[in-house]
C-alpha cells in the first residue's frame, strides 16, 4: 500500500466513527488512562513514601499499557524496563539508604501545597494545549502497521536523542551516589554523637561512685 493510499484509508477510518461511537481500543485507552490518572493522584497525595513509590509503579505501568494500545511497543517496553525496573528501584534504594520512615511521614506534607498545585495545574494545561495544537489534525491508524516499532523508534532514539538519553543515565547515577553520600554522612554523625556521649556517661558513673 502506497503512502497516499494509507493516508486515504486512515482518513476514511477516522470519518467512519466519531466520539459517540468509539472503538474497543479507544474505550480501553480511556479506562486505562483514568486508572493511571488516579494512581498518579495517589502518588503525589499519600504521606507514606514507600506507598508513593509503589503507586508510581502503577502509574508508569499504566503509561506502558497506553503505549501498547497506541501500537508503540518499543516505547512500552522501554517504559517498563527503564522507568518501572530502574527508576523506581533507584527510588526505593534511595529510601532505604537514607532510612526514610516506613509509616506516615510528617515531612511529606508541606505548607506550599497550594503553590505546588497551581504550578502543576498550569503545567498540565500548557502540556495539553501543546499536544492538542501539535496533533489536532493527526490521526493514527490503530489497525494498520505499527507506527512505533522497534526499528523506527530505535533509529530515531539513537540518531536524534542520544544526548538526552545519556544525560538521563548520568542523572540517575548522580541520584544514587547522592543517596549513598547522605547515608554515610548520617552514619558518621551517629557515630560522633555516640562517641561524645560515652565520656559524659563515664563521668556520671564515676561521680556516683
> What gap in Å lies between CA 24 and CA 28, rounded to an integer?
6
- Find out whether 139 and 14 touch, Cβ atoms under 8 Å: yes
- Find out whether 109 and 47 touch, Cβ atoms under 8 Å: yes
Indicate the average pLDDT of the chain: 75
45-83 residue pLDDT tens: 887 878 888 899 999 999 999 988 887 787 888 888 888
Supply the pTM of this predicted model.
0.57
> What gap in Å lies between CA 95 and CA 167, rounded to an integer?
23
Question: Quick check: 207 pLDDT over 80?
Answer: no
82-141 residue pLDDT tens: 888 877 887 777 777 766 666 666 666 667 778 888 898 999 899 889 888 887 777 666
Amino acid at each position: 500500500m502506497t503512502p497516499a493510499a494509507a493516508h486515504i484509508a486512515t482518513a476514511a477510518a477516522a470519518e467512519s466513527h466519531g466520539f459517540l461511537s468509539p472503538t474497543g481500543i479507544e474505550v480501553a485507552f480511556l479506562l486505562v488512562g483514568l486508572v493511571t490518572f488516579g494512581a498518579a493522584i495517589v502518588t503525589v497525595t499519600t504521606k507514606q513514601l514507600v506507598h508513593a513509590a509503589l503507586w508510581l509503579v502503577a502509574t508508569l505501568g499504566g503509561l506502558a499499557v497506553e503505549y501498547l494500545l497506541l501500537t508503540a511497543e518499543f516505547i512500552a517496553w522501554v517504559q517498563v524496563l527503564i522507568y518501572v525496573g530502574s527508576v523506581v528501584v533507584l527510588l526505593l534504594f534511595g529510601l532505604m539508604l537514607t532510612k526514610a520512615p516506613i509509616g506516615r511521614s510528617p515531612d511529606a506534607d508541606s505548607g506550599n501545597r497550594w503553590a505546588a498545585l497551581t504550578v502543576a495545574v498550569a503545567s498540565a494545561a500548557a502540556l495539553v494545549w501543546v499536544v492538542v495544537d501539535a496533533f489536532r489534525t493527526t490521526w493514527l491508524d490503530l489497525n494498520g502497521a505499527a507506527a512505533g516499532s522497534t526499528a523506527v523508534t530505535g533509529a530515531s532514539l539513537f540518531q536524534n536523542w542520544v544526548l538526552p538519553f545519556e544525560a538521563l543515565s548520568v542523572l540517575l547515577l548522580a541520584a544514587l551516589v547522592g543517596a549513598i553520600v547522605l547515608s554515610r554522612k548520617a552514619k558518621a554523625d551517629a557515630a560522633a554523637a555516640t562517641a561524645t556521649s560515652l565520656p559524659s556517661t563515664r563521668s556520671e558513673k564515676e561521680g556516683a561512685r
